[in-house]
Structure 1
Amino acid sequence: MFNLVVENLRNQIPLDEKFKDHALVGEYKGCRECHIKPDVLLVYRIQNNVLTLVRLGLF
């Protein structure tokens, strides 16, 4: 599942709704978060067409 999400992000393909992709605020302003699994979250940023994986962790 992780590889599918990263590949879609890398190719700028919108994620399926099941991944609950959304923008973040505060400390992570400018980043987005999606759910790889219900309890596994990926924080990422796309800036100047460069995908940066910021954080991966359990919720």
Structure 2
Amino acid sequence: MIATDTAKIVLMNDKLINLIDVLDLAKQLQKTHRKTLLSGVIPTVGIIAGVFVFNISVSIA
């Protein structure tokens, strides 16, 4: 899981323009996290459906 505590960001200079880069990285992290989650959930749902709907044994699935 991603840390839910408040994160502190240290800017190395006085420009807030670097904060935009941090926000872009956060968006990329969200997209990557969503893709990773779906790549684990979709096969699991398929296996569970195969076991219960099509009576496939768990060892084959």
Report the TM range for the smaller structure's normalisation: under 0.3
TM-score normalised by the chain length of structure 1:
0.19
Q: TM-score, normalised by structure 2?
A: 0.19
Q: Larger relative contact order (C-alpha < 8 A, sep ≥ 6)?
A: 1
Looking at secondary structure, tell me which structure has more helix per residue: 2
Larger Rg: 2
